[in-house]
Amino acid sequence: MDFTFTREEELFRESVREFLGKRLSPVWESIDEKNLIPLDLIMDMGSQGFFAIPVPEEYGGQGGSFTLAAIAAEEVGYHDPSMATAVYTLLNNSWPYILYLYGSEEAKGEILPLVGSGRCFFGIASTEPQGGSDIAGLRVSASLEDGVYRVYGEKIYISGVREALEQLDYGGWLLLARTGRLEDRHRGLTAFAFTAKRGGSIVDGLEYNILDTIGRHGISTGVLNLKGAPIEPKYIVGGEGRGFYIAMEGFNLARILVAAANIGSARWALEEAVKWSRDRRLFEERPIASFQGVSFPLAELAVEIEAARLLVYKAAWTADRIYVRKEPGVKPRDLAFYAAASKMKAVETSFKTYETAMKTFGALSYTKEGKLGRGFLGILSYMVGAEGAQNIMRYIVASELIGREYVR
């Protein structure tokens, strides 16, 4: 067994850290305060190869691996612990890859090079007001009218609405819509590469608004109101009626990068707590690190983060076995356990890290000057949902462990 990264992966991490240290670390608090990732930063990240990392170069991607994508997500999470830029990064790696796998040649050729260069946002639009985890129960409908699908209904809690529809000239989502009957459940869903904005113009039949979230302010969360928005058949991804399976595969990949980003943010929070424990002095000028009540919880967190990080990279390695190296006998379903387990472990470890770090800082952590609160509210978005609620991760792990026929 070899737990080391390759030379290529180490060089990639070094270049990512150097870039983010100069371009992201100095501005991440401003991003959170101003509710905006600067457009020039998005463009620079595109030119540096942060997006569409696993997509082959002939389709405008970076021709890399999911391990490299996880490295990028982890480092972005570290340099922007509020998670805003990390969310932007992980979405524009996982869902473009699904488009590469199952999209038409025309759709891939049109969208993927724009994503890879940073000129197009491409995320996921699945959640609806009646619920997010029950993908099979989605109600937004798409019907074929005069050779074009018309989409009706509402999507909510969608990341990247402002970025896709206001900041960039191109933007969209892998959108799930019901092309069959509601009682067909998962068999009636179709995935579309919905390019909601093209060449600076938003498509007809689409209205939107931005929600006021409590954290992760730099990337928007919004609502899409679809009132007959048109989608040409060439934008179907994976075939009509296959949307549920396409989405499940995409969520597995996205969860790995979510987990990596949470580990990056947790690393930052732990480092801040360690520095504070050395510098903060009480009782005859003793550093608070000298008290076991402070140092032991930090030690436990270091172990938890390392364990979670190993699980994350095992999940990324498994994805590479399936999609990059295409090893015989390894199938996409084999990723479900590790993807869900890595998100479950990484998010909860990150949450515990922030809880302990904020207790270590005391009252200062309850102020914006203390910085930790921005990171805590960022990772909280994944504790309460986003790419699947934590109990859904437990359900997936239990199903893979015990058997789907037993866990209902």
Q: Both 100 and 114 in a single domain?
A: yes
407 within domain boundaries: no
173 within domain boundaries: yes
Q: Both 150 and 221 in a single domain?
A: yes
The neighbour count for residue 263, using CB atoms within 10 Å, is 30
Residue-wise pLDDT for 158-180, tens only, equals 999 999 999 999 999 999 999 98
Predicted confidence at residue 299, as pLDDT, reads 97
Q: Both 205 and 254 in a single domain?
A: no
Residue that has been written with the tokens 């970025």 in this structure: 163
Q: Provide the CATH number for the domain around residue 321.
A: 1.20.140.10
Q: Both 81 and 208 in a single domain?
A: no
- Which residue among 121, 154, 183 closes a domain? 121
Cα dihedral 104, 47, 167, 176, rounded to 10, equals 30
Q: Both 287 and 387 in a single domain?
A: yes
364 within domain boundaries: yes
Q: Both 158 and 116 in a single domain?
A: no
Predicted confidence at residue 390, as pLDDT, reads 86
2 within domain boundaries: no
Q: What are the angstrom distances between the C-alpha of 38 and each of 26, 42, 77, 163, 219?
A: 13, 7, 17, 10, 10
Predicted confidence at residue 408, as pLDDT, reads 78
1 within domain boundaries: no
Predicted confidence at residue 96, as pLDDT, reads 97
Predicted confidence at residue 284, as pLDDT, reads 80
Sign of CA dihedral 79, 280, 307, 351: negative
Residues of the chain with pLDDT under 50: none
Give me the domain span that covers residue 313: 243-402
- How is residue 150 annotated by DSSP? E
**Nearest CA among 397, 53, 94, 132 for reference residue 254:** 94
Q: Both 100 and 117 in a single domain?
A: yes
Asked if residues 190 and 242 have their Cβ atoms less than 8 Å apart, the reply is: yes
Q: Both 218 and 251 in a single domain?
A: no
Predicted confidence at residue 135, as pLDDT, reads 78
Q: Both 336 and 315 in a single domain?
A: yes
Residue that has been written with the tokens 């436990």 in this structure: 300
Asked if residues 100 and 108 have their Cβ atoms less than 8 Å apart, the reply is: yes
Q: Both 351 and 386 in a single domain?
A: yes
131 within domain boundaries: yes
289 within domain boundaries: yes
Predicted confidence at residue 272, as pLDDT, reads 97
395 within domain boundaries: yes
Q: Provide the CATH number for the domain around residue 44.
A: 1.10.540.10
Q: Both 257 and 388 in a single domain?
A: yes
Predicted confidence at residue 368, as pLDDT, reads 87
- Which residue among 66, 93, 121 closes a domain? 121
Q: Provide the CATH number for the domain around residue 193.
A: 2.40.110.10
Tally of structural domains, the chain: 3
Tokens of 268: 């930052």
* pTM of the complete model: 0.94
Predicted confidence at residue 140, as pLDDT, reads 93
Tokens of 215: 């954290």
- Which residue among 196, 217, 237 closes a domain? 237
Q: Both 132 and 74 in a single domain?
A: no
